[in-house]
Structure 1
Amino acid sequence: MNWHIEKTPKTPIYQSIMKHITQNIQNGQLLPGEKLPSERKLAALIGVNRSTIVRVMAELEAKGIIKRQRGSGTMVNDDKWGLSQEPVVDWHQLIQSQQPDEHHQLIEQIKEKLQDSSAIDAYTGELPLDLVPAFDLPQSNWRDFIEADKNQDALGYFPLRQAIANLLAQDDQLTLPVEQLMITSGGHQAIFLIVQALLNSGDAVAICQPSFLYALNLFQTAGIRLFGVPMDEEGMRLDLLENEILKHRVKLVMLNPTFQNPTGTTMSLARRQALIKLCQTYKIPIIEDDAFGLLPFDKRTTAPPLKQLDPQNVIYIGSLSKIIGSTTKIGWISAPPAVLEKLSTARQDLDLTLSIFPQVLANDALSDVTFQDKLASLRAQISARMIYFFDLIGQEFVCHRPAGGFYVWLRLSTDTLTKKQMDEVIAAGILCLPSFIFGDKTPALRLNIARLNVDEIKRLVETLQTLKKAGIC
């Protein structure tokens, strides 16, 4: 704020100061509720006697332009913005409401620490470069992409949709008709479109607790009420889910039953069948996020997707980001045609265009004759890292051992997990997310073990052991 006052002949200085403050309120330089400097400081800034400032403040207060509160100082009046004759947006209140919360600040703190090459990055939710499969892409030019774009409609690039359907049929024994498959710009866009097209402000959605969905701001922005349902070793507890359905008129159940984020838990077949039966009883659709479904360590023990058990009532979300990297931003939704039409219309209304470039590149990767071999190799490498971690951690901590995916859910030996404890964990060089980010009060950490090489896993375990001895975790 510039406190230089233009002095004009025959105009008392106190009036010039009043005019300066009033004009700055009207043009938005001073916001409602904003605190002004103290009388002594303002006098020094402008270069006048304090008595002059005392008179200015008395006059402005009488006009209702400012208000003074004992112990709080002098502030621009929230209710009256100077002499403006037109209604003005309360920018100060809007800015205050958008201030980042503690969770956001923690994530920003972690991201800043990522610049430290010595930090152990168990936070980032994707593969390290050395694990991303390398595919030889065919030579192409600009005209090839223009030609490929002719094969794209409202649901995406048709050859890629066919390739995804073939992949899932081969890998999961999951049959997804191409006409019921829509390409999205990653799994998060799929969730966003579902929220925008199928839900209204105030609607209730049941999710697992803990869940990565708590970390997505889109639900809060859309006014969607999330109700967490605790889990046991078989997944979401259905007795508690039914309580939420009856209590809150739940409109959707949204979960990722296979290698759940953040716990790594896989819902049992019996629990999946019971979940489907319960939701059919109450006529509630299920949104199945299967981001890690292509990454089981042993395919023989994997439970079938919910979509396979109930094709008509389950909307299925998948992604290639966990396999070929997030740069391509390729995900998909499988749903009944009427639902896909509504989702694609919402995407067009929101102008969320889908570029042909990543779709063609993803199709080239899936069409590579070595894709299945490289996918099998990727699973084996992640599994080896998990085995090494669990061999080192031993009985030191309670950890759920996942059957696939990236994450380990490590329970702490402390009774609580506070922001201060997380500061200590980050300061020690471990970058990860705490349980409270995922809506859970149980003290635990989510660790992306797939992200770490052998040396980093060893350092991670040693650092965790040191922090435990210090009573931090």
Structure 2
Amino acid sequence: MNWDIERTQKTPIYQSIMKHITQNIQNGQLLPGQKLPSERKLAAIIGVNRSTIVRVMAELEAKGIIKRQQGSGTMVNDDKWGLSQEPVVDWHQLIQGQQTDEHQLLMTQIKEKSQEEGVIDAYTGELPLDLVPAFDLPQSNWRDFIEADKNQDALGYFPLRQAISNLVAQDYRFTLPVEHLMITSGGHQAIFLIVQALLNSGDAVAICQPSFLYALNLFQTAGIRLFGVPMDEQGMRLDFLENEILKHRVKLVMLNPTFQNPTGTTMSLARRQALIKLCQTYKIPIIEDDAFGLLPFDKRTNVPPLKKLDPQNVIYIGSLSKIIGSTTKIGWISAPLAVLEKLSIARQDLDLTLSIFPQVLANYALSDVTFQDKLASLRAQINVRMTYFLDLIGQDFTCHRPAGGFYVWLKLSTDTLTKKQMDAFLSAGILCLPSFVFGDKTPAIRLNIARLNRDEIKRLVEKLQELKQVGIC
């Protein structure tokens, strides 16, 4: 096959190579299943760096045009490519994405079950209405919001950024400069922007295993490779992390070290310091998701965020959604100015506008003189519910005792966790998330105890004990 690539000044060379390969598949010069030259050989033939060919192959694989098999090399995807001038898009694969049918079916079943009376909803990752702090809002009209919008720039509403900076200074005793803060529509948008702006298809990201990040489709959609790192009682295992860094050229380490989702584990100070040192050695940035950091049961035992320990190399994500309700959708990113500029441009390119309304409402809440008292009351109420659950469950199950946040990671006494078992949980009216959603094979479930009142917690424990007696859990 002819590998003479048409080169133009306006088109990056990797795009020209991608176009050349795609056109030759379309016109039948490259046939389904046909093996392509190795990356090294192809780079020599075309006269480019091997890294260029690596990027070409990663993007073509993400589009489903080629496929790679260990030990067999790279070949044209064995479908309808090459049979006509206009290849047929595999809409089924595009819609289905990376999640298995089993995962999708389970999520659908849980959502349908949540509409029934009397179910125990330990699944939803939000506070119940009775725990959401109530703040009195000042009288305002439409013009007030229009006027407030004048205080918003590409990084968000300035008074809210200042209020967040003050909150962090009060709770964590360190400073997030206002000029280094960008408001987002919740923590998930913050992660989405980081993926879009800082990563390319084929990049490797190290995360904890288990982790809620496995449940986010945005990584699969962007072609990002996630590598799970085992955890112990102190957090992410750094010996395993270093192995992943050396094997897969990890570009970012992304984790939520405080009251981790789903396990509730908090990374120790010594482990945090060692993590920072390891990432500094390999020059790898850390993305710290601190969604639950404001919810310790005892502030005296709170461990400082990674951002406080290493302000320059940690991108910090915070959120108010776990405190004042998800409908407000307020999160933030603290990062170096150059990174914030890139994230801001990505948001504008994606047309992810940031409404002034939730920002003003969040600023009202943070500026309320009762905010700290209500936050302390919220922590205490969650702690009461968590203590009641753990006291009732006793020695019947193995579960980590979290020092804050919403979740309990309850390990089952069975060797596996199957769909049949999850069906039994649903039939018993227990809504929860299984370990495999979080990329883990350990038979365990995540329970949002903060969401349950005293009666619901009692019924939950009774039902779990009944299911254990019949060998379900």
Equivalence map 1:3-82=2 (5 Å): none
Residue 89 of structure 1: how far off its partner (Å)? 3.4
Say whether the 8 Å CA contact 2:209–2:229 is kept in structure 1.
yes
SS of 2:130 mapped into structure 1: coil
- CA separation of 1:281 and 1:443: change in aligned 2, threshold 3 A: same
Whole-Å separation in 2 of the counterparts to 1:439 and 1:280: 27
Say whether the 8 Å CA contact 2:80–2:87 is kept in structure 1.
no
Partner of 1:125: 125
Whole-Å separation in 2 of the counterparts to 1:90 and 1:392: 54
Whole-Å separation in 2 of the counterparts to 1:366 and 1:91: 48
State the aligned residue count. Answer: 394
- The answer on 1:459 being equivalent to 2:453 is no
Partner of 1:317: 317
- The answer on 1:192 being equivalent to 2:192 is yes
Residue 445 of structure 2 aligns with an amino acid whose one-letter code is L
Deviation per residue, 1:361-401 (Å, 9 max, x gap): 00000000000000000000000001100110000000100
Residue 434 of structure 1: how far off its partner (Å)? 0.4
Whole-Å separation in 2 of the counterparts to 1:268 and 1:109: 37
Whole-Å separation in 2 of the counterparts to 1:354 and 1:437: 30
Instruction: Please report the TM-score for the alignment, with normalisation by the length of structure 2.
Output: 0.81
Whole-Å separation in 1 of the counterparts to 2:216 and 2:108: 15
Residue 404 of structure 2 aligns with an amino acid whose one-letter code is G
SS of 2:316 mapped into structure 1: strand
SS of 1:130 mapped into structure 2: helix
Partner of 2:354: 354
Whole-Å separation in 2 of the counterparts to 1:209 and 1:110: 23
Residue 172 of structure 1: how far off its partner (Å)? 1.2
Residue 468 of structure 1 aligns with an amino acid whose one-letter code is K
Equivalence map 1:160-171=2 (5 Å): 160-171=160-171
Residue 102 of structure 1: how far off its partner (Å)? 1.5
Deviation per residue, 1:87-112 (Å, 9 max, x gap): 36345554675586211221111011
Residue 199 of structure 2 aligns with an amino acid whose one-letter code is L
Whole-Å separation in 2 of the counterparts to 1:100 and 1:297: 37
SS of 1:317 mapped into structure 2: strand
Partner of 2:55: none
Equivalence map 1:224-239=2 (5 Å): 224-239=224-239
Say whether the 8 Å CA contact 2:235–2:265 is kept in structure 1.
yes
SS of 2:362 mapped into structure 1: helix
Equivalence map 1:229-268=2 (5 Å): 229-268=229-268
Structure 1 unaligned regions, length at least 5: 1-77
Instruction: Please report the TM-score for the alignment, with normalisation by the length of structure 1.
Output: 0.81
Partner of 1:427: 427
Equivalence map 1:96-175=2 (5 Å): 97-98=96-97, 101-175=101-175
- The answer on 1:205 being equivalent to 2:205 is yes
Residue 123 of structure 2 aligns with an amino acid whose one-letter code is Y
SS of 2:131 mapped into structure 1: coil
Residue 222 of structure 1: how far off its partner (Å)? 0.3
Partner of 1:400: 400
Equivalence map 1:272-291=2 (5 Å): 272-291=272-291
SS of 2:230 mapped into structure 1: strand
- CA separation of 1:345 and 1:424: change in aligned 2, threshold 3 A: same
Whole-Å separation in 1 of the counterparts to 2:95 and 2:289: 34
Residue 87 of structure 1 aligns with an amino acid whose one-letter code is E
Whole-Å separation in 2 of the counterparts to 1:249 and 1:423: 40
Partner of 1:68: none
Whole-Å separation in 1 of the counterparts to 2:260 and 2:435: 14
Deviation per residue, 1:251-276 (Å, 9 max, x gap): 00000000000000000000000000
Structure 2 unaligned regions, length at least 5: 1-78
Whole-Å separation in 1 of the counterparts to 2:80 and 2:435: 41
Aligned-pair RMSD on alpha carbons?
1.7
Equivalence map 1:303-382=2 (5 Å): 303-382=303-382
Whole-Å separation in 2 of the counterparts to 1:231 and 1:347: 33
Whole-Å separation in 1 of the counterparts to 2:216 and 2:255: 14
Partner of 1:296: 296
Q: Which has the larger radius of gyration?
A: 1
Partner of 2:52: none
Residue 268 of structure 1 aligns with an amino acid whose one-letter code is S
- CA separation of 1:79 and 1:219: change in aligned 2, threshold 3 A: closer
Residue 195 of structure 1 aligns with an amino acid whose one-letter code is V
SS of 1:251 mapped into structure 2: strand
SS of 2:144 mapped into structure 1: helix
Say whether the 8 Å CA contact 2:414–2:443 is kept in structure 1.
yes
Say whether the 8 Å CA contact 2:210–2:440 is kept in structure 1.
yes
Whole-Å separation in 2 of the counterparts to 1:344 and 1:257: 26
Where does structure 1 differ by over 2 angstroms across 4 or more consecutive aligned residues?
A: 85-101
Residue 110 of structure 2 aligns with an amino acid whose one-letter code is I
Deviation per residue, 1:256-299 (Å, 9 max, x gap): 00000000000000000000000000000000000000000000
Residue 290 of structure 1 aligns with an amino acid whose one-letter code is D
Partner of 1:87: 86
